[in-house]
Amino acid sequence: MAPPNYRIRLLHDNSVITTGITNTLVTSLHDTQLVAHLQRKYGWSPLTFGKIHWDAHERAFVAYPGFISTAQLR
C-alpha cells in the first residue's frame, strides 16, 4: 500500500523505502559487481556463494577489535 499524499516514492524490490536509503542504494549499485568478483576470485558457483551465511560473516568482522567501518573512515 502506497503512503498517502507522496509526490515521490523510492521503491526497491516493490517496497517503499523510508529509512536506510543510502545503504540500500550503495548495496544495490555494488552487490552484483562484488558477487561476480568474489565468485571469479575464489572459483565459487552461484550455488556455493548462496550457501555462505553473509550476516554471520559480517557480525564476525564487526566484532573483531581491529575492524574499522567505512563510517569511521569518513
Cell of 51: 550457501
What average pLDDT is seen over the chain? 83
Q: pLDDT of 18-53, one tens digit each?
A: 888 888 888 888 888 989 999 999 999 999 999 999
CA-based nearest residue to 25, from 38, 12, 37: 12
CB 38 within 8 A of CB 31: no
Sheet strands (E) in 1-74: 11-12, 15-16
Distance (Å, whole) CA 49 – CA 19: 28
